[in-house]
Amino acid sequence: MRWRSSRVLRWCAALALPALAWGAFQWRPLTVSWKLHSARALLDLGDSSRVSQALAVLRSLEGKEQPDRPELLFLLGRALRRHGEVKPAFAMFRQAQAAGWPAREIEEQVQLGMFQGGRFDQPGPTLDQLIARNNSDAFAYDLYESLSKGYLHAYRFVDAQRSLDFWIEWRPQDAEPRLWRGGIWEKMDKWEQAVEEYQGILKSNPDHYEARLSIARVQMSHLNSVDAAHAGFEECLRRRPDDIGAILGLAECERRLADPDAAEARLRALERRSLSEDQKSGVWMQLGQILMERRQLPEAIELLQKVVTAEPHNSTAMYTLGLAFASNGQQAEAEKWFQASKKLDEQFTRLTDITIILASQPNQPDLRWEAGQILMDQGLHREGADWMATALMFDPDHLKTHRSLARYYAEIVHDPQLAEKHRARVRELDPEDRSNGESGEDGAPDRAIQNGDRPNAKADGQPAS
């Protein structure tokens, strides 16, 4: 009997070895399939945080299992597009197409990428055709998102509002469209409506931190509701005690509510932490204001000078620095900063006026160029170039825009190829031009994905060319 048991065990072991090998062989493909399924679920009807999770899942599969697997390539393209990395997304779609993924689905995603970059004039399926041939909830979500992003990118706020309205009516619990609509109200100086928008998010999702922080920020900075903002920032810090934005906001509330000692204690503690450049400027700004009010003028001036060096477009810091110099008896220096602050305020007022005009009259390339020029004058070159690039969406032959973008690519970005494209376009539009060739083509992408083209989108790491 013992001999028979031993023989049976050896026989079972002999059978088990191939079974275990087969199981190990099958386990990895099953794991890959499960991860792909998980990534697709995260992408369907998922906000940006879920998109980031999906991208991480998909990245974990790259190079480990069937790198030419069509589904992996397609989902990577979709995740990259939704994440804002449009150029890499198009590269993935080309690979997925070559690996055999259905051309129709790729065409839909390419068109969404065009929409997302503000390119609504490219050949391909129309909006009605896209809706008619794919009525899934997941595609509807992708469509609303890409349209809204594209309209916002092109500063077509009325169209963006319309898209966001439909999205919110369909899925009132979604936070992102409300956040974006709140951002539109802020750009148009409609602060009460912005607060109402953010409060609407909290009704559906009381734990939404960004909405809560935005309410407190607008109440403090634009509505002068300092007591309400103080309570809001305290609640934010109860939820996230180390959040630097909330600490800065609470310190400013304390300063404005005549508790400068508490504000300074918070700010001095922040100084000892690792901060971004913007956060450092925020600390210096508030400390400078506190010290100026205490008439500790040399240190106040030193801190405020750091702010205007780091943020040459901060008109409030310039004006406060002027006050500090005036209090210190340095009237000529004070007047210089008062004038600089006044000029910036006038430019920002004009920029707001342009934004409001474009909300109802988007086809105004001259205004779009002017907005970009204002930002470039303030040292915000990338933001200015983005504004100017939208002028070419409405008028591909806009001469002033081509000249300015040629200068931007030559002197700021140091991209001679893009600079020359705009220079060449200027020479075509104005053969008599002698401005050292500050021009080029508008760079609108060709439709064919096979040619390796890309949409004009901020996500490409540069403005639309």
Where does 84-175 have alpha helices with state H? 86-98, 103-116, 127-133, 137-153, 157-170
Query: Which residues of the chain carry a pLDDT beneath 70?
Result: 1-29, 63-68, 434-465
Domain positions in the chain: 351-460
Give whole-number Cα distances, 429 to 320, 363, 463, in Å.
46, 20, 22
Instruction: Tell me which residue has tokens 């001999």.
Output: 3
CA distance 113 to 129: 16
Give the pLDDT score at 133.
Answer: 81
Q: Are 121 and 156 in contact (CB under 8 A)?
A: no
DSSP class of residue 121 equals S
Retrieve residue 119's tokens. Answer: 């390119």
Please write the tens of the pLDDT for every residue from 248-288.
999 999 999 999 999 999 999 999 999 999 999 999 999 99
**Range 351-460 classified under CATH 1.25.40:** yes
pLDDT at 325: 96
pLDDT confidence of residue 227: 97
pTM: 0.78
- Condensed to tens digits (0 to 9), the pLDDT of residues 70-85 reads 999 999 999 999 999 9
Q: For helices 48-59 and 70-83, what crossing angle results, to 10°?
A: 140
What local confidence, expressed as pLDDT, does residue 128 receive?
A: 80
The per-residue pLDDT for 120 is 82
